[in-house]
Structures are given as structure tokens and as C-alpha cells.
Chains A and B, each alone.
Chain A
Amino acid sequence: MTEELNDSATNIYETIGAVQAPSNNFYLIETTLLGKGDTAQDITKPYRVTFKGMLTSDKCSSERKD
């Protein structure tokens, strides 16, 4: 019998679906809905949304609002 930690012990979040990734000139964004155990997301319960993206252009600016 092996005593290895499985994924559920090291990461309680499980990716169960993804939505289409929006993008524009500056950002490429990947969106995932995360949950555990469910095969379908019940959006009446709290749920987590994560965005991960890379800057895809050198034209990046910030504007300060005073």
C-alpha cells in the first residue's frame, strides 16, 4: 500500500469548467470556474473566478486619477 498524497489533499480546488477567454490588444485572459466534487456549478452558491493573463503588447500604460 502506497502512502502518497493525492491531488485532493494538496489542492482543495478543482477545475470543473472553463468559459471562453476574452482578449484584447493588451491582455490575453483565461477564466476558470473552480469547485470541488460537483459536476455542475451551482451559481447561487458562492464561487471563485480566476483570471490569468500575460501582457501581450509593449504598449502598456497606466493613468493616475487625482
Chain B
Amino acid sequence: YDRDKQGTRAFRLSRMVSDPTASGGIEHPAPSGTDLRSLIDPSSRSGERLSARVRVAAGAGAAVRRLSNDELAVDVAGELRIEAADGGALLSTVLFAGDGVEIMEPAPLRAEIVEALSRLRDMHAEARS
């Protein structure tokens, strides 16, 4: 619990550049049942996983195909149901595939992809000196 930020934060030990010092008792103990690992590792979180229906091109979307349990030959285009514990990871994996994968549903996820791709296109289309 970061008292300055008023919230739970994860700190990489190797980035602590000064010697830590004790400053009194624990004022914010972790509530019982808290899964501390899940705070920094989304894949370990229990509960409902994020799901999406995607269309993959033939031979494309290798990373996306690994998120699915559906059987689809790698050299065949088709639809897959994919799942991930973390929405950010799912978006990132689909974006990595470029035009090889298209999210069909849910609509909000599809809209996020379109927004991200539009931002990427516009950002890089600007001439830079």
C-alpha cells in the first residue's frame, strides 16, 4: 500500500536505489484472503476470463491462435473463440497480428482496436523533422 498514492502498488526490488528503513507499524495490512500475487500477475487472477470472437487469416495470427482451444488448421482462415485473463494482453496480442486478425465481438473490444489502430496510423503518418 503506497501511502503517497493512496493505493496498492507493486515495486520492483531492483529499482529501489536507497536502503529501505522501517518507519513504524503496519497501518494498512493486506485484507484477509487477498491474493498478493494477482496484484502484479493478471494471469494468476481467478474469476471470469475475457473472451472474444475473432477472424484469422490463413497462416496468420500465430499468437492469437494460441489463445484459443478451437481446432483450426494453421493454413486455413476462419473464426476462433479466444480467451485471456487480462483485457490488455488480449488487445495487445490482436494488435500484434495486424491485418491477420480481426475482432468480431464484443463490440467494445472491436471499437478499442479501431481506436488504437487509428491512433497508430495518424501518429506515424505525420512527417517528422
Do A and B pair up? The answer is no
Interface residues of A (CB under 8 A from B): none
Interface residues of B (CB under 8 A from A): none
